[in-house]
Chain A
Amino acid sequence: MNPVRLTWARTVVQLLKCRSTAVLIGVFMSVGAAVLAFELEAFEGERVSLPVLWALGLSPLLPVLSAFLAMDVWSEERRSGRIDLLLASAVRERDFVIGKFLGVWTVLVFSVVLQLAASMAALWCHVPRVFSDLMAVGFVPALLVLFLQGALWCAVASAASVFSKQPAVSLCVSLTALVVVPRGIWAAMTAWSHEARSVFGEMPIDAHAFDFASGAFSTGVLCMYTAAVVTVLFITSKCVSALRLSGRGAWRLRLSGMSAVVLSVVFSSLAVLLALRLDLRFNLPVGTMRNTFSERTKRILSECDGEISITSYMPRSDQSFRSVGHFLRSLRRESESLGGARLVLRFVDPRWDVAAAQRLVRRGVRENSIIFEKGRRMASVPLKDGFGERLCASALQRVAAPPIRRNIYWTVGHGESSCDDYGTFGMSDIARDLAREGYINRKLDFAAGVGVPGDCALLVVAGAKDDFSRLEMGIVESYLRRGGRLLVLASAAERGGVASMLPAWGMRSMEVSLQGARTLTGGDVIVSDFAEHELSASLRGSRIVLGKPVAFAPSAVADAGGGTGKIDFVPVASVDGTAVAAAVERGAGLGSDIAVSPARIVAVGDAGFVMNGMLSACANANRDFLLNCVAYLSGSGVYGTGGDDAGILAAGMDRETRTKFLIAASLAAPVLVFLSFLVFSSGRRRSE
């Protein structure tokens, strides 16, 4: 009979018949469920799946469980003297070592599966909505990574058990080796240097749990764990063999044993290095989420064609690097399956890929962004709060959509900022961005006696210092009454241009002095309060910076004459309740003919916010805001709105539900397990 199998079976039975094991598994289940409850609250609204969350919560508990399970696996044999019986048998030490390791590992696997079943059953009863998009097979990678890590912890804990006859000492050694040293070093490193976390990234153990549970398999990491387990088992068998070498004359054997151990460590390290060097990464479609992406995203992906380059511009050590990488790979896979565009992924680390990073910076891309490029068109999505599928799909749509050939007319002759002025106060940068989007920038000089051309998709009055003449006002009024679109970038210093015309269109500028408490000079105002409007919804979580902006308010003297509906005033961006950017629309209204094109005006309280000088600061979403304004006004459709992110954790647990879940998963289930153990062991005793 195979001694490995016999030893394995003996170890499993020995562990499972022990009441302390029942208590241990119960505590493990309880703590695991509590951690899951905490994480469900902490990660609410994040793009993270339930299996990943569960694996991340359980991963740090496994070393502790392993240490307790394996604490007396060898030390008890030594203490009782049974080790002599074992060593005098015609069995190789390695067979005992493997058998005992497999026994401990089996109990660990059993505990993990039990914990999963209990937690998910409790979750199913109390928060069934988290399972709406989930398939059972989604837990397989999470289980695999936990089993893999558990194998290493069990091997190390078993090895620690050889060194002492006292289980308590073995436990202390195991806990030190598995928990205190790695976690302690990590905590000390991150506490000592604030930069350490960003330099070294996440703790590798947690990173592996996240990656594997997300379906991102790496052959290098697999080899590393396997090599580590094999090496530890080899060292353990050498340590057991060394128990025979108590005599002075065995020094040669001790020396050869130590040499074998050193060589095994060296060879396994080399094997791991080679495996990591030749690392193959598979992003397996493990079906973590049945609907990884929303219908809107799928539609956009299926409509895209050609080749689209997606660049992740962020440090690899960033905490969100893995989740972003996983998300982008999922996006690529989804696009392939839908027959959409070929997505080419690139990862640029600003610290290492200096040349590529420099190219991106030259193009005005900020660090921690995702850049979508197709031909000359580019869209970047900042990795801030709210990053996710919705924004990326919009960016994809923006770069993949057919070029827009719409004319934008910039008025001149009233001291406006010019779209071809390359100076600090010029607007050449934003004009270039608009041209990249497919718009055609043209100048319109009313002094030449021309009206607004018929092909005008948008009229821009950018920081006019002088008032428009009555005739010019009439031309603009007439244009708007025909369903025209007007973008007013107000100049705070000289309130000229079309300001006097705006009250008739439902908005008026106000004499409000806004001071920014969050900027160095106090002159700039940081705006982060955006309305749920088509042109500003995608900016939520972003910031725009305005310099001493003009405020806007609804006008009581709105003149709807000549229009076909009522005027809607929307404060799209506000500071402490004061609108610094507003949109008005006089359109068909509800129930009217939808073919009627509504007139739209968007006014922003500062013309300088998209001047070259401000944009070069690259620290705000001003560019995106203006592009949104232009797209909204010109009828191109604003990207980044509509639809919901799929794959977002939405447990929505309130206090009562959480308490019920905790009672079920942390108390009831472990107690049930403990009672089952008692019944099992007492049943065996009776049969004896």
Chain B
Amino acid sequence: MLEVRNLSFSYDKRRILKDVSFSVAGGERVCLVGANGAGKTTLLRVMATLAVPDGGSVLLDGQDAFARPLRYRRRLGYLPERFALYEDMRVKDFLAYRAGLKGEPPKRIRRRISEAAQMCMLDDALRSPIRGLSAGEKKRVALADALLLRPRLLLLDDFLAGLDCAMRKVAGEILANAAAFSSVVATGHEIDDFAGWASRFLVLRDGVIADSISAGDPEEGDVGGRVREALAEGGR
């Protein structure tokens, strides 16, 4: 479904991504891990068309993201690492505004909000102003925004950062549900939490995919341990 081919990106004279290639099947939950500065956020920004790559392509269902960006973005849900919401709005209004921006017809907006709120367990908070929510709730609102139109591809950048254990578990459940209609590519450092729901780990090291670890084979041992091992190899 998603295919990243030879993606490279450089900023000033520094090459951040070097011929990154991988593919994600429909409904697959891929976790992108790597040390700080490995290029995880940059990769997701490029995949979200927020940055134009030096070369390579991102294909979603065979269509190039940079050739038809609007069409691509219509099927994309993106949660940036440093997200911000309109604090003066109520959750419901914010989601309605975002759904409208994403081109959802007005008649369907209420249903979409209801589905996203249910999925992200925000039913009780819908009428609350965003400025009154906790950090975890705000993150769930941002996640609801990303999931609002049931995107084909969900890009989540370091979205577990700053959440407590219970909230991380909740987030995992949300993403497990989202996999019913989305392929998920998430980044982060919380390997154990990701191990609970990710189907595959991609280890990014110095701008290249150094390792791909599948979580599907229990005979190969603890997936978290193997990911940490792969990361540690890079450190040596």
Contact = CB atoms under 8 A, between A and B. Distances in A.
B124 to A, nearest CB: 15
B54 A89 contact: no
Interface stretch (A78-86, A143-151, A260-268, A302-310): A78-86
Contacts of A88: 48-50, 73, 76, 78, 80
B86 A82 contact: yes
B52 A253 contact: yes
Interface stretch (B6-14, B29-37, B198-206): B6-14
B12 A248 contact: yes
B97 interface: yes
Interface string B1-35: 00000001111110000000000000000000000
Contacts of B98: 85, 89
B106 interface: yes
Interface in B49-73: 49-55, 70-71, 73
A247 B101 contact: no
Contacts of A685: 129
Contacts of B235: none
B133 to A, nearest CB: 12
Interface in A632-688: 685, 688
A249 B9 contact: yes
A88 B98 CA distance: 11
A80 to B, nearest CB: 4
Nearest to A9: B97
A255 interface: no
Contacts of B109: 1
A521 interface: no
B50 A248 contact: no
A91 B83 CA distance: 18
Instruction: Please classify the interface of chain A as helix (H, G, I), strand (E, B), loop, or mixed, using the class held by over half of its residues.
Output: helix
A176 B13 CA distance: 34
Contacts of A17: 88
A87 interface: yes
B76 A245 contact: no
B145 interface: yes
Given A244-B52, A247-B53, A92 B70 contact: yes
A249 B74 contact: no
A244 B50 contact: yes
Q: How large is the interface on B (under 10, 10 to 19, 20 to 34, 35 or more residues)?
A: 35 or more
B97 A85 contact: no
Interface in A90-115: 90-92
Contacts of B71: 90
A132 interface: no
Given A88-B78, A247-B51, A81 B83 contact: yes
A344 B86 CA distance: 62
Contacts of B103: 1, 3, 90-91
B52 A14 contact: no
A674 B145 CA distance: 35
A245 B54 CA distance: 10
A6 interface: yes
B100 A1 contact: yes
Given A6-B101, A80-B84, A89-B101, A249 B53 contact: yes
A688 B80 contact: no
Contacts of B83: 81-82, 84-85
B106 A1 contact: yes
B102 A85 contact: no
A92 B49 CA distance: 13
B52 A6 contact: no
A244 to B, nearest CB: 6
A88 B45 CA distance: 9
A7 B82 CA distance: 22
A245 B97 CA distance: 27
Contacts of B85: 82
A250 B53 CA distance: 7
A84 B50 contact: yes
A86 B55 CA distance: 24
Interface string A483-514: 00000000000000000000000000000000
A14 B80 contact: no
Interface in B94-111: 97-98, 100-106, 109
Contacts of B53: 247, 249
| Residue from B70, B105, B109 with most neighbouring chain A CB atoms (10 Å) | B70
Nearest to A18: B88
A15 to B, nearest CB: 11
B58 to A, nearest CB: 13
A97 to B, nearest CB: 14
Contacts of B50: 84, 87-88, 244
A253 B49 CA distance: 14
A405 interface: no
A351 interface: no
A249 B55 contact: yes
Interface of A: 1, 3, 6-7, 10, 14, 17, 80-82, 84-92, 244-250, 253, 685, 688
6 contacts: A3-B101, A14-B88, A247-B10, A247-B54, A248-B10, A685-B129
Given A3-B101, A90-B71, A246-B51, 14 more contacts: A1-B100, A1-B101, A1-B106, A1-B109, A6-B100, A80-B84, A82-B85, A85-B78, A90-B102, A91-B101, A245-B52, A249-B52, A249-B53, A249-B54
